[in-house]
């Protein structure tokens, strides 16, 4: 009898998890050839993490505390104390959080849509230029996103099972993410929408879940801002992001956030894939209403995030929301990936339903599947080219309006040279990542080929 750690079990474990493993290994190899990216913010946050090491407080200089929540800098300080205080070393901590977020995008996609969508969403998330840059920059945004996605993942099970303990654990992760960066509040949107969709009926359980979820964040904020800083909880609104205005002559367009998403964050093919996924599956919603509902939850998360960024940057003329769309809209990225990645799950659902449909309907389904495959392939190709560009570039500027020079910029002081070992490692990373898709679809391709080329035997 084979043991738990026998050769058969290890082989089976690797076989079942190879697609996700290939994504993680592949994107790690790609990350080796990219960055780290630096700017004023990364240097400023490095000073705060160094301040924790020196004075046990996130001071940029002695007595001057950084205008961000503290937890992220304590985590970074612990890592830097062990491995060395430098931008390059600290960026690898952020890369680890990026890998963790990739796993969570897969797990959340698997729970909501199914395993195929989870894998596709994880690959899209990991390869997006947006994520590649922020996961190789010493910023607290990737850390906050990881904790927020962890809050959402545990929250899904808490909502489905009405579990008080899981609601508390989800609340602890929310408290941790909120004390890392205030953008964590956006994760409450999909949690609330999912909660409404599940329609809990017992009032006592609803009240207990909400209480145990909120208490950790409230207590942690109270301790930090009232007890430690002596400023009061409302101090969280005294952030320079809500006071500094755009310079004279800069007139933000209300389309600046969409400009960033279309030209830099996602790209044209990604945006088209998201719109196509939402629009076409609305036409096929009878085949799988549940996927349609989860699309609405993702859309209901994306739209408020973009609207808030637009109102702050263009409506209130605030400098940071306008120039930092790359960070203000970052929490929408996993949900963009889930909607685009759901094309895979939708294609499988429609492919399995084609036998009971009429011929015109089957032709429409076939056109949808072919278009979806072309869009996803185009996204991967564009992301490959963008990753190569990021690794070769010394300077990056993410504009929010193409006719103006304002935006969020990065420097890369160690760009990769064409034909170098690092570039070959990058190519190998893409090959490993794509191999996971071949592995997961091998049985379907084999069965399809067998059925297609099976000889017709006539029985008299």
Written as six digits, the tokens of 50 are 């160094």
CB 293 within 8 A of CB 317: no
In the block, tokens 């922020």 appear at 134
- What pTM did the predictor assign? 0.91
Written as six digits, the tokens of 129 are 């230029």
- H/E/C letters for each residue in the chain? CCCCCCHHHHHHHHHHHHHHHHHHHHHHHHHHCCCCEECHHHHHHHHHHHHHHHHCCCEEECCEECCCCCHHHHHHHHHHHHHCCCHHHHHHHHHHHHHHHHHHHHHHHHHHCCHHHHHHHHHHHHHCHHHHHHCCECCCHHHHHHHHHHHHHHHHHHHHHCCHHHHHHHHHHHHHHHCCCHHHHHHHHHHHHHHHHHCCCCHHHHHHHHHHHHHHHHHHHHHHHHHHCCCCHHHHHCCHHHCCECCCCCCCCCCHHHHHHHHHHCCHHHHHHHHHHHHHHHHCCCCCHHHHHHHHHHHHHHHHHHHHHHHHHHHCCEHHHHHCHHHHCHHHHHHHHHHHHHHHHHHHHHHHHHHHCCHHHHHHHHHHHHHHHHHHHHHHHHHHHHHHHHHHCCEEEEECCCCCCCEEEEECCCCCCCCCHHHHHHHHHHHHHHHHHHHHCHHHHHHHHHHHCCCCCCCC
Please name which of 343, 350, 363, 355 lies closest in space to residue 284, comparing C-alpha atoms: 350
CB 177 within 8 A of CB 151: yes
Instruction: Tell me what pLDDT residue 451 has.
Output: 47
Cα diameter, the chain: 94
Distance of alpha carbon 202 from alpha carbon 209, whole angstroms: 11
Burial of 164 (0-12, 13-18, 19+ CB in 10 A): middle
pLDDT tens, N- to C-terminus, the chain (460 residues): 445 445 556 666 666 778 889 999 999 999 988 889 999 999 999 999 999 999 999 999 888 999 889 999 999 999 999 998 889 999 999 999 999 999 999 999 999 998 889 999 999 999 999 999 999 999 999 999 999 999 999 999 999 998 999 999 999 999 999 999 999 999 999 999 999 888 877 788 889 999 999 999 999 999 988 888 888 777 777 777 788 888 888 889 999 999 999 999 999 999 999 999 888 767 776 666 667 889 899 999 999 999 999 999 999 999 999 999 999 999 999 999 999 999 988 888 777 766 555 667 777 778 888 888 899 999 999 999 999 999 999 999 998 888 777 789 999 998 998 888 989 999 999 999 988 877 766 655 554 444 444 444 444 4
pLDDT tens-digit readout, 111-162: 999 888 999 999 999 999 999 999 999 999 999 999 999 999 999 999 999 8
CB 183 within 8 A of CB 147: no
pLDDT tens-digit readout, 162-174: 899 999 999 999 9
What sign has the CA pseudo-torsion 381, 384, 385, 386? positive
Instruction: Tell me what pLDDT residue 434 has.
Output: 87
Please name which of 437, 402, 344 lies closest in space to residue 117, comparing C-alpha atoms: 344
């Amino acid at each position: 009898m084979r043991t738990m750690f026998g050769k058969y079990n290890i082989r089976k474990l690797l076989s079942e998890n190879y697609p996700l493993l290939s994504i993680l290994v592949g994107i790690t190899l790609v990350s080796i050839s990219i960055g780290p990216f630096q700017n004023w913010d990364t240097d400023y946050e490095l000073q705060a993490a160094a301040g924790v090491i020196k004075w046990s407080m996130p001071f940029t200089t002695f007595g001057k505390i950084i205008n961000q929540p503290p937890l992220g800098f304590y985590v970074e300080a612990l890592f830097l104390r062990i491995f060395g205080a430098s931008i390059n070393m600290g960026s690898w901590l952020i890369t680890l959080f990026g890998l963790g977020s990739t796993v969570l995008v897969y797990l959340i996609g698997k729970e909501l849509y199914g395993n195929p969508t989870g894998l596709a969403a994880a690959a899209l998330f990991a390869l997006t230029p947006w994520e590649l840059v922020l996961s190789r920059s010493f910023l607290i945004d990737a850390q906050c996103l990881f904790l927020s996605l962890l809050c959402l993942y545990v929250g899904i099970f808490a909502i489905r099972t009405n579990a008080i303990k899981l609601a508390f654990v989800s609340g602890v992760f929310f408290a941790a993410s909120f004390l890392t960066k205030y953008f964590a509040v956006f994760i409450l949107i999909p949690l609330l929408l999912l909660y409404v969709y599940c329609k809990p009926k017992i009032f006592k359980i609803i009240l207990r879940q909400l209480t145990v979820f909120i208490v950790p964040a409230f207590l942690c904020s109270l301790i930090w801002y009232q007890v430690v800083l002596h400023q009061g909880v409302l101090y969280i609104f005294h952030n320079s992001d809500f006071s500094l205005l755009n310079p004279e002559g800069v007139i933000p367009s209300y389309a600046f956030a969409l400009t960033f998403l279309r030209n830099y964050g996602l790209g044209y093919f990604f945006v088209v894939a998201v719109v196509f996924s939402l629009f076409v599956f609305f036409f096929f919603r009878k085949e799988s209403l549940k996927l349609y509902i989860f699309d609405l939850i993702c859309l209901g998360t994306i739209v408020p995030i973009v609207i808030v960024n637009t109102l702050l940057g263009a409506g209130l003329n605030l400098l940071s929301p306008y120039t930092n769309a790359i960070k203000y809209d970052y929490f929408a990225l996993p949900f963009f990936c889930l909607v685009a990645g759901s094309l895979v799950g939708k294609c499988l659902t429609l492919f399995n339903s084609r036998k009971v449909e009429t011929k015109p309907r089957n032709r429409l389904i076939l056109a949808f599947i072919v278009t979806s495959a072309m869009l996803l392939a185009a996204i991967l190709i564009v992301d490959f080219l963008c990753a190569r560009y990021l690794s070769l570039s010394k300077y990056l500027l993410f504009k929010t309006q193409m006719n103006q020079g304002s935006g969020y910029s990065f420097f890369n002081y160690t760009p990769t040279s064409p034909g170098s070992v690092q570039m070959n490692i990058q190519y190998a990373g893409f090959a490993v990542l794509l191999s996971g898709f071949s592995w997961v679809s091998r049985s379907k391709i084999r069965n399809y080929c067998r059925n297609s080329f099976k000889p017709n035997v006539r029985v008299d």
